[in-house]
Every structure is written in structure tokens, then in C-alpha cells.
Structure 1
Amino acid sequence: MSAAYFVTGTDTEIGKTTIAAGLLCAARRVGLSTAAAKPVASGCQLTTEGLRNDDALALLAQCSLPLRYDEVNPLAFAPAIAPHLAARDAGVALEVPALQSAVRVILDKGADFTLVEGAGGWRVPLAGRATLADLARALNIPVILVVGVRLGCINHALLSAEAIVGDGLTLAGWVANVVDPNVARLQDNLATLAERLPAPCIGQVPFLPLITAEQVAEHLDLSRLML
């Protein structure tokens, strides 16, 4: 039976893609087929093959199914700014139905384990009044929350979890990703998160100077996902 999850984070630059790639790697290690989608990405580099996003490439590298880049990341923009602003500058409207259709192409591949990675946090704007949360709701798949562990993360995590559940979606699990090696009272912070977040912790990833999906996978336990 295939499973799919929407991956969001407590903020931008908290290692959401690092964790997503690690989850895909962990799934492959236990014999699951994998696929991923990052429907919209900004901060892309122009290559001979077109615009390419490092995060989308990292996800694609952990997909066992033969996927094309444009299937994983159908909307790529060069400026490293909020996706809705980059899209607006390019004359593109980030409409939920179009994004949903693009993601469905990946979901319909039928991989055992599929991840759909958002951009930034839960309420990142799309066209009009829509946000990426509306895409997750349209897809109606459980959510994995990546918590960037640093000062202020408890508030960010609890608010994000509250919004996810309030939007009618299942918070299937969360991952603590230590992005500040000098964060004070680390274990106390992790214990507080575990006590207050309404889902199991599926991994605590320490600060890693050199990060690879394989290293991250060592700290993740897919069996703890709330299915």
C-alpha cells in the first residue's frame, strides 16, 4: 500500500529538504519505492537544461522511480525570493488546481513512499488569498513537520501544528532538525516539543557539518509515522 506525505517546516532555511531527502533515503533502505514532488521552487540556477533548483535535485536523487526533473519541480523561478513574488514577476499565477494537478502526476506513479515538499512554512502565499496550506488540503494527505531547532522553535512548532490540525489535516509526525549547534538547553527543548506536539517524533537529527541524505537517514525512524 502506498503512502504519501506533505512536508512542511516551521520556517525557511531550517533543513526541510535535508530531512525530506533523508526520509526518502530511509524508505529506500527498507525496500520501498520512492517518489517526490516540489511543485514550486524559487532560487533556481540557469543550466543548459533549463532552470534547476538544488532542493528539487536533492529530492530527485533519492527517488527510485524514473522521474523527470520537470515532473518533480514543474514550476521553477530564478529569483531567490518568496515563490509567489517570483511567480508574479514571471507572469505566472500559482493557482492551487494547477499545482494539485502537477503533484497528482507524481502521486499517480504509485510509489510506496512519496513526499510532497512545500516551500518555507505552512502559510506561504500563492496566488490571491491562497497559501501552500490550501494545496496540502486539496491533496488531502498527512503532514510531516520539520522543526528547525533553534531559539524560538517551540512557539513556531506549536503554532504550525495548531494550523495544520486546524486545517483538517493529520499531523503524521515531526522531525527535530538541530540547525543551531549552540542552542541552549537542547534536551529540555526537545522534551518540551515531544510533550506538546500532537504527533510522534520520527527523528532527532543533530547538527551535522557535512550533511548527506544517508547521514540524516541514520537518525530517522519511519515506523513511528502515524498512519
Structure 2
Amino acid sequence: MKEFFITGTDTDAGKTHVTSLLLKLLAQHKKQAIGFKPLASGCEMAFDQLVNADALILMESATVSAKYDVINPFAFAPAIAPHIAAEQAGVTITADKLSSAYKNVKQQGADYILTEGAGGWALPISNTDYLYNWVKAEQLPVILVVGIKLGCLNHALLTAAHIQSMGINCIGWIANQVDPNMDEYQANLDSLKLRLPFPILAISPYSEQTPKLQIYKTLLENFSLNT
């Protein structure tokens, strides 16, 4: 089983967009893959339960089916930081609870599990803990999604430095063009390629139509897909 954690440089970097594309890539290669969205806020009631649009996208993109609460065990209505929403709902999020939920995902029979984080890298899950501590405990390889927009250099380099400082294995980064009107898009992309300590895995150019993913060989190698 191959497992990866997809994080982002900030809230709107495009984690769900990229995770969905990666799940579809695995589907094209006839792989059994599932997405996992442990924490989600901004949920709405549907079918007598809170559901999150991002989690539903992951479910639609996966080749392995599971019940909603397996894919998204912690769902909150307010569109606020999950640990604050959890506190308001009287729910305690711990690393142990996340690991228990993750075991349920592992039991679904997938060969690949892509776990999508919430917000950016330094996401609190309580007043004393962070989601990245769980990622480290589970020894999940990380994929960093960089939302290419003004400020992306600072966000990406700070995130990369923290990942490195924790000794976590980041296999590479994916550029997601979120701003079609960004000045000097290519120059910023080149700067990231030069400065980030991890290899680039793919680029998702901005598109009003069918989303695309320009894939680098490093991604195929990490996913053990035939080139």
C-alpha cells in the first residue's frame, strides 16, 4: 500500500483540486485508490449528516468506495478553523482518534491512500497539537501543493523549511496556478524550482474547462506507475 499526505501552502492553494487529479491519474493506471479528508469545516447537511464538498469530490474521483464518515470522520458546519469548530461542537480531536479513523480507511482495500489536509501545513487540531504531528507519527510521505499567486514564494519556502525541520519526507511539490492573471507567472515558477529543496512533481495550469496535470517523471516514479 502506498500512502501520501497532500498539504498546501495555504487554505486556497488547491489541495482538493490536485488530490482529485492524482486520484484520476491512478484510476487511468487501473489502480485501486481512495481519498481521505480527516478534517473538514464549512459542511452542509445532506442525507441527515454533515458533508463537505471537498470530501465529496475525493469520493467521486476515487476507484475505491467507502461510506462518507470513513472518508471524512470529522465534519463541522462553520467555515472556520477545524479546532475552533470542534471546540464549539464539543468534539475533541486527537492524534489517536485520527489514527483510528485512518485504520478504517486502510481496511477499504485500496492500494493507494491520498490524505488531504485542511488549510495550510501548520493546522492546529486542538489547543496543544497540530495535524503535522499526526503526519509525522504515521510516517506519511508529503506532497506540497503550491498555489501560484502573489506571495507564493514566501508561503512555499516557509512551509518547506518547517517540513524539513521536522525530518518529514516531502517527495516533492505540485504547482497549481490559481491566479490566471498573475504577473510573471513563469518567473515565479522558475524561482520556486530553483529554491525549493524538493523536486517538482507536476503542474496544474489554470483552466476554465477540463482540469489538467502536466506530470513529471518523478511523480510517476514515486507512485510506481509505468512511464
TM-score normalised per structure 2: 0.92
Name the structure 2 match of 1:10.
9
Name the structure 1 match of 2:170.
171
Name the structure 2 match of 1:130.
129
Q: Is 1:220 aligned with 2:218?
A: no
State the alpha-carbon separation in 1 of the partners of residues 75 and 205 from structure 2: 30
Give the AA of the match of 1:220: I
State the alpha-carbon separation in 2 of the partners of residues 165 and 60 from structure 1: 31
State the alpha-carbon separation in 2 of the partners of residues 22 and 192 from structure 1: 24
Equivalent residues of 2:59, 2:65 under 8 A apart: no
CA-to-partner distance for each residue in 1:62-89, whole Å, 9 max, x for gaps? 2211211110001111011111111010
Equivalent residues of 2:45, 2:51 under 8 A apart: yes
Name the structure 2 match of 1:40.
39
SS of equivalent to 1:158: helix
CA-to-partner distance for each residue in 1:177-223, whole Å, 9 max, x for gaps? 0111111111111111111212221111111124x5xx33x423431
State the alpha-carbon separation in 1 of the partners of residues 181 and 164 from structure 2: 31
SS of equivalent to 2:214: coil
Unaligned runs of 5+ in 1: none
Identical-residue share of aligned pairs (%): 42
Deviation at 1:33, TM superposition (A): 0.9
Name the structure 2 match of 1:79.
78
Q: Structure 1 residues 74, 145: CA separation in 2 closer, same or farther (over 3 Å shift)?
A: same
Equivalent residues of 1:95, 1:126 under 8 A apart: yes
TM-score normalised per structure 1: 0.92
Equivalent residues of 1:200, 1:224 under 8 A apart: no
Equivalent residues of 1:36, 1:72 under 8 A apart: yes
Deviation at 1:109, TM superposition (A): 3.4
CA-to-partner distance for each residue in 1:98-117, whole Å, 9 max, x for gaps? 01210122134342221011
Would you say how many aligned residue pairs link Structure 1 and Structure 2? 222
Unaligned runs of 5+ in 2: none
State the alpha-carbon separation in 1 of the partners of residues 53 and 172 from structure 2: 25
State the alpha-carbon separation in 2 of the partners of residues 204 and 224 from structure 1: 16
Higher relative contact order (Cα pairs below 8 Å, separated by 6+ residues): 1
How do residues 1-227 of structure 1 correspond to structure 2 at under 5 angstroms? 2-210=1-209, 215-216=211-212, 218-221=213-216, 222-225=219-222
State the alpha-carbon separation in 1 of the partners of residues 169 and 157 from structure 2: 14
State the alpha-carbon separation in 2 of the partners of residues 133 and 24 from structure 1: 22
